[in-house]
Every structure is written in C-alpha cells, then in structure tokens.
Amino acid sequence: MQTITHHTARLAIAGLLAGACLPAALASSHREAPFVTQSPKIDGTDFYMFRSYEAGRANFITLIADYVPLQDAYGGPNYFAMDPNALYEIHIDNNGDAKEDLTFQFRFTNTNKDTKLTVGGKQVSIPLVINGGAIAAPNAPGANVRETYTINVVRGDRRTGTKSAVTNAADGSTTFDKPLDNIGNKSIPNYPAYAAAHVYSVNIPGCSTPARVFVGQRKDPFVVNLGETFDLVNIKAPATEFAANAEKAAHDDLADKNVTAIEMEVAASCLTASGSSDPVIGGWTTASVRQGRLLNPTPNSSTPSKEGGAWTQVSRLGMPLVNEVVIGLKDKDTFNASKPSGDAQFATYVTNPTLPALIEILYGSAGAKAPTNFPRNDLVATFLTGVKGLNQPATVTASEMLRLNTSTAAVAMGKQNRLGVIGGDNAGFPNGRRPGDDVVDIALRVVMGNLCTLNLGCAPTDAPAGGLHFTDGAYLDDSFFTAAFPYLKTPLPGSPQSAAVAQAMRRAP
C-alpha cells in the first residue's frame, strides 16, 4: 500500500464523516432510529475494529460490537440480558464488493434455574437473578439465571453461505457462558476476575490460529455531551466552547452508563481474503429478528411469545454516527434494514449534509459558518470507498462500512493520539476505530471544513470555520479503556457499596 501523508490522512477523515458529526454528534448510535428504540436489546451502539495493541498480539484484529444502550448499573431485577430471539452478527468484507465474505453469528439462551425457597412449608420461586450466594465463576450455584451463547461462522452470503460452529479450544464445546451483569460487590465480590473467567480461546473453522471471545457487560467507553447536544446544541458559542482549552469543559452523559459488548480477537490472516495480498477489510455489525411475533396471552418465563418467519435486519452499524446524525429522520429505519451494497440511495445525505447548515443557523453569528463546496465530492470518495494509501481496498464498491488496513502497525496504549489520523496516528480512526479514538471531536473539526484550510479537496474560502477547534467538550483519554483484551473497562456496579463494606456486611450476624 502507498504510504499515506499527513495531509492525505486528514482528507480521509473528511470523506468518512461527511456531515456525520457536529456538536450534534451524539452517542454513536444509541437510540438512533425510531423503530429500534422499541427494542433496546437489539440496538447496536458502537462498532470498533482495530489491530490489537496488547503486547504479543500484533497479528490479531479486535472486533467489538456494542449493544443495549444507556444501561443504568442498578437496573435490576432483570438487568440487561441479550435477546434470545435475535440474531447478532459481525460482518467482514475482504474483497471490496460491499458484500459480506465472513460473518460471525451469535445466538443467546437465557435459562431460569427457578431457585425456590421453603417458606411456611411451601416451595416458592425467588424473584432475583442471585439466590443468596456470592458469584465467582461461570454458571455458579448462586446464580438463578444462566446466560449462554453459541457462535457460528458463515463464509459467503450470511443466509445461504457455508455455516460452521465456533468451538471452545479447551474442550471442543459449542456453548459459552456470558457473565451476569455487575449487580454489585456483595453479589459478585471480584467482578474483574469473574468477567475474565468468561474470556474463551476458540477455534474458528478455516482458521489455523485460535481466536479469543468475550461477551458481557462493560463500561460504555463512548463519551459525549449528550443532553445539551439534543437541546438545539445548547453549548457555548464557538469563540469559547470550541477553543482548545474547552476540550474538557463539558459533562460526559455516558459517564454512568454500561453497555453489552460482543468481542472477538481474530488473526488478521483469518479475516483477509485467502490468496490476496490486499490487507484492507471492511466491517459492520447488525441485529435481526424474525418477521413474525405472536404474543402469548397467558405468558410464562419461557414462552412469552412465538417467533417465526425469515430473519429481518433491524439494526446496522459500521462507521460511527452515520445513522445518528447523517441520515434523515424519515430514512433512519430504512438505513438500519439496508445492506452496504445498497448505499447509493443515501448518497445525498453525504453530498449535501444538513447538519453543518444547522450549526450555521444556530451559531453562524459567532463564526460557525458551514462549508460551501457542493456537492461534497471530496467527501464522497473517502466516505464510501476508503482512502487510497490509507484504507482503500484494491478494488472497491462504494458503500458505508468501517474499513481497516490490517497491515498498519498498532500503537501501544499511552502513545495513541485520541484524534487518530488527523492527530498523526495512522492506526486510529478512520483507519478502523479504537476505543480511545475521539470520533466526536475528529468529526467536528473536519465536517466544518478543517481540511479546506489545507486545500485538500476544497479551498480555504470554502470553509470559513475550518480553523476552529470544534469539540463537544466531553474528553476521552487512556483512562477510558485498558491495554489488553477485552479492552473495555469493568462495568459500573449496580450497588455503590465498596468491596470492604460488602465484606463487612457478609461477616455481620
């Protein structure tokens, strides 16, 4: 691949974010479309795809698909189990044709053990997911609910291709345990160790190198000034809010939220096309449900409804923020049901983005003038194809997805630049996406014309606000993620009591 220059790298950002982020750049895809708000368990929130930066794992690619947005840690008694009637998928296109060549499918099963207590001589079912004993290991006796999942890999079309089971490298089994959510320290005294016991080494048919898998609740790593953003971008004018010293000035509205992560770490050689020298892959995640649902008028815990018919896609996420702030409200559900191969229908949202115009309406008097070069052809090429020399496949069909050049060396934690490529770090967004890439600030600075100031696809006169340091003020740094798989931090506990207090309570008479 051609070595990318710093100027070309910055052009990459422009294309990928065409109108995607302004101060209205929200949580990546949390509740982004009308229909999916009715089913948060199948709402994809963020997708990450990056070369692993854990020591000794340089030849691996990490895929993270987050679901179930805005989880309050105290959300019992049922917490946030995945939907057993849904199909969760991570898709890889490794030949640039906008169609999946490799799909990882996850299905979940939630088993109610129906623990009973003897009360007045009668056996009575308890109302909680914990039956009174502390939890320390997968499927522990103290758990009243067991969450498990299976994984299939499909080569070719996700519905008609060759399907094979992913197996546990330790014993060949095909069923994996998902940890309970972080109820609190009294129920799960050492949650980091408990979660770590759910990281599995797995064998993927067709891959000679074992992969790693983890599915479970994590602290949501995304940061954004959410509430004020939705309130007609109710933040300070550009002269102050968007100054460099304002990058840590705003509240992160996801600071107290968890999310559920589906994570895989797969050898790069298993994701790129067999026999091809092209290191670029594209990726996106989806969730689907059956076309028909018949509600049971006399439901119980195992059969509240009957599902049937073909799988129907209801959630889609590749690049961050696209459906959130690029796609028009009337087309958001359509986008969620669409495939990358059909993305030509959404092209106008990129060539003539509405959100820069909205920013000008709200803050034009303070200097936040939208770029004037229409159509935004400089943005279209990179938004739909990847950037030549950075992450463009050898052959490509225009389509929206997250693209990664798997040959770009990883950058260790502590040395990553939160602004990714425009910060001089070619291992970051939009060359894939890491948990530490501040896609909101990256997008803000580019969509309002930062690249025009460098004559990259447009002229300085096309972007009166191109020199402003746009930011939502919600800052992202190394404290928001970890240096090793599964990379996302331990979820916040539902109980605020410390481990010491919980231990004291357990010792009390």
Q: DSSP letter at 449? A: T
Residue 135: what pLDDT? 93
Residue 497: what pLDDT? 58
pLDDT (tens digit per residue) in 320-374: 877 777 788 898 888 889 999 999 998 888 778 787 888 788 777 778 888 888 8
pLDDT (tens digit per residue) in 360-400: 887 777 788 888 888 766 566 567 788 778 899 999 998 99
Sheet holding 167-168, edge to edge: 44-51, 60-72, 257-267, 211-219, 200-203, 167-168
- The tokens describing 380, both together, are 């279209």
* Statement: the pTM of the whole predicted model exceeds 0.85: yes
For helices 6-17 and 377-385, what crossing angle results, to 10°? 90
pLDDT (tens digit per residue) in 102-161: 999 999 999 999 999 999 999 999 999 988 778 999 999 999 999 999 999 999 999 999
Cα–Cα distances in angstroms (integers) from residue 113 to residues 145, 146, 281, 394, 506, in the given order: 6, 7, 42, 52, 24
Q: What angle do CA 212, 217, 223 make, to 5 degrees?
A: 105
pLDDT (tens digit per residue) in 438-456: 988 887 777 787 777 767 6
- The tokens describing 403, both together, are 């693209």
pLDDT band at 234 (very low <50, low <70, confident <90, very high): low
**Is residue 239 predicted with pLDDT exceeding 50?**
no
Residue 386: what pLDDT? 83
- The tokens describing 426, both together, are 């070619």
- Distance, C-alpha 180 to centroid of its chain: 20
Partners of 51 in the beta sheet?
61
Count the neighbouring beta carbons within 10 Å of the beta carbon of residue 59. 13
pLDDT (tens digit per residue) in 247-300: 555 678 888 999 999 999 999 999 999 989 999 999 999 999 999 999 989 887
Count the neighbouring beta carbons within 10 Å of the beta carbon of residue 288. 21
User: Higher-confidence residue: 433 or 17?
Assistant: 433
